[in-house]
Structure 1
């Protein structure tokens, strides 16, 4: 499920991590399911607001972490909706661990096209894919990223920002600090951001507003209120 941001209270990165942890530990929701829910909400939002761009060809830029895992779910569900999709991995596949690795294997088994930006030949193909895309989805760096984008990720962001495609960020634009709202010099410039669970603290900052675009929320299958209630109930036993 997804919705446009209205007056939802923002959350810090630490609070979001705690929400995920309690969802898994207290409510026994598998982390793989939380990632599936996040990606499903984001894919639904994309199909509702960027369907024409998506059907011209969607390129999902995926990093090796959980944000990349969310992007892999988005890619699979857009493919299921008959939108042409290519995944561009910014890291060798062996760098993906845990839930993102599971979703990568699913995408591979489905035969969805995957490019790897880890060699000069593949990087040339990546540039061509970025230039040809109708929609670029940023799932490179999430709230756990440390420091500004570097190396291959920075190059991909720069190419994406120069492209004529519509641009959508998953959770937050890569290069944006979710807590402070500071945007790195190389920051993905989104037409829309589909943030997960709740708006982030830094979204109100002027620098953030310049790169966020229109902001939506994708539910992850558990709300802060549900977690608070569950934890209180467990402690009362």
Structure 2
């Protein structure tokens, strides 16, 4: 699923109307039909439709027309008057009037009382007030209308975006509809990805309204939401003649005294995701503990430089950082790996922490690098506040990836994966997975897929998808899902995704 800003959507609409000669009223009609499809008409029978004079209002008038034809009870309101009404909106407004539908004007507080009464007695409120083009704060009568809708509706469906939501940033522009469902068109709006917007959008459905693929390709800027079909198409089917050497040598550099769990989980993440041969390099004081826990992985010590250097040379992927501690030894190890490795490196946890004020280390890399920070780690290495990053996750991740020529996987709800050009948003995972070790598991999975021959950015988003997919599946029967549960389930989830038609 592709992601778009309001500017991109405007360019797409303008091109369709002005260059392809697709009448705007046709796109509006297609949009209205898709809204009707999602109104659960077997369940809801009476509707209050709230419109304005823009194209979003035109969608609302068209929806009202179809509901009237379907013999549903409707009450229609126009907020702010019809002066300078958009052309396509006016067409649908006039059709509705000629059909004998009364359209109530909302221009003062007495009118708002009528709107409140209508909302209270109807099954559903349809929000067709503002669309994707809104960029200013909502004030006056519009502010009051939105509050009345939120306070009195039994169920709200927003057309394209909830009125009052900045569709680019996800910020509330003064006041905003709190929808139960949002029926959006053609492309997923960028603002929907920000933290907290789910409380405003409700369930999001993106519908095709007949815009040609060539037009979308012309203006789209390589930002996607990954889905199961995309992952299934990329997962390699194993050849029956293949052997362990075909699925990569993965080196995990992790762990320290008191942090054996991080090393164990990361290593097991690589094993359970299908890597051919996995070796853990850890401090000597915890090596015996971890050696006794592993059945499929080999172990070597930080102190054995010859074995470590040999493992680095032979590896197809290296994961470094989990549980190592934010200290000089970790910095030294990371520097050594970056300077000497010719295979992709996945840096997590303390491997990221030691990069604070030392990002220039990445300039010496001889191979591709993936970093997997959470918000706090991203704040440390960028110098930006956590709140700022939360509000600008895509932009911050893309800029940092581009400046340092790396892949950034910014963890959290709707994980961002980007190389600075292409950006992928992961759609899986939920709060049942909010526990220690999850990031270590994901790092091992990414290293495993890189070792098996996937490009680093693909390995990152495939691993993120499967990681979250497994967590979602397990959470159906579990209150909380821990990293150990994910480790057990990884091979089953991969097989499930591969075999699902």
TM-score in terms of structure 1 length: 0.86
SS in structure 2 of the partner of residue 69 of structure 1: helix
Native 8 Å contact 2:125 2:153 kept in 1: no
Once the two structures are superposed, residues 36-94 of structure 1 have per-residue CA deviations (whole angstroms, 9 ceiling, x without a partner) of 11111111211xx35422x0x10111011111011111111111111111111102123
Task: Work out which of the residue numbers 86, 92, 97 in structure 2 matches 1:97.
Answer: 86
Task: Work out which of the residue numbers 192, 195, 201 in structure 1 matches 2:190.
Answer: 201
Native 8 Å contact 1:116 1:123 kept in 2: no
SS in structure 1 of the partner of residue 127 of structure 2: strand
The aligned residue for residue 226 of structure 1 is 214
Q: How does 1:20-169 map to 2 (within 5 A)?
A: 20-46=13-39, 49=40, 51-53=42-44, 55=45, 57-169=46-158
Native 8 Å contact 2:139 2:174 kept in 1: no
Q: Name the CA distance, whole Å, in 2 between partners of 1:120 and 1:155.
A: 9
Residue 17 of structure 1 and its aligned partner are, at CA, apart by: 0.6
Count residues with an aligned counterpart: 219
Q: Name the CA distance, whole Å, in 1 between partners of 2:144 and 2:35.
A: 24
Task: Work out which of the residue numbers 2, 16, 28 in structure 2 matches 1:9.
Answer: 2
Q: Name the CA distance, whole Å, in 1 between partners of 2:137 and 2:50.
A: 17
SS in structure 2 of the partner of residue 52 of structure 1: coil
Query: Runs of 5+ in structure 1 lacking a partner?
Result: 1-7, 232-237
The aligned residue for residue 217 of structure 1 is 206
Native 8 Å contact 1:197 1:220 kept in 2: yes
SS in structure 2 of the partner of residue 15 of structure 1: helix
RMSD: 1.8
TM-score in terms of structure 2 length: 0.42
Q: Name the CA distance, whole Å, in 1 between partners of 2:169 and 2:87.
A: 29
Native 8 Å contact 1:173 1:193 kept in 2: yes
Native 8 Å contact 1:26 1:230 kept in 2: no
Native 8 Å contact 1:182 1:207 kept in 2: no
Q: Name the CA distance, whole Å, in 2 between partners of 1:60 and 1:79.
A: 12
Structure 1 segments (4+ residues) deviating >6 Å? none
Q: Name the CA distance, whole Å, in 2 between partners of 1:121 and 1:95.
A: 23
Residues 185 and 228 of structure 1: CA distance in aligned 2, closer, same or farther (over 3 Å): closer
Q: Name the CA distance, whole Å, in 2 between partners of 1:121 and 1:213.
A: 30
Q: Name the CA distance, whole Å, in 2 between partners of 1:155 and 1:127.
A: 11
Query: Runs of 5+ in structure 2 lacking a partner?
Result: 220-501
Q: Name the CA distance, whole Å, in 2 between partners of 1:52 and 1:95.
A: 37
Residue 165 of structure 1 and its aligned partner are, at CA, apart by: 1.4
Residues 163-172 or 115-124, more deviating = 115-124
Residue 164 of structure 1 and its aligned partner are, at CA, apart by: 4.2
SS in structure 2 of the partner of residue 172 of structure 1: coil
Residues 33 and 40 of structure 1: CA distance in aligned 2, closer, same or farther (over 3 Å): same
Q: Name the CA distance, whole Å, in 2 between partners of 1:112 and 1:91.
A: 19
Residues 123 and 199 of structure 1: CA distance in aligned 2, closer, same or farther (over 3 Å): same
Residues 135-144 or 159-168, more deviating = 159-168
Task: Work out which of the residue numbers 167, 191, 215 in structure 2 matches 1:178.
Answer: 167
Residue 148 of structure 1 and its aligned partner are, at CA, apart by: 2.3
Task: Work out which of the residue numbers 164, 168, 191 in structure 1 matches 2:180.
Answer: 191
SS in structure 1 of the partner of residue 158 of structure 2: strand
Q: Name the CA distance, whole Å, in 1 between partners of 2:75 and 2:28.
A: 20
Residue 187 of structure 1 and its aligned partner are, at CA, apart by: 0.9
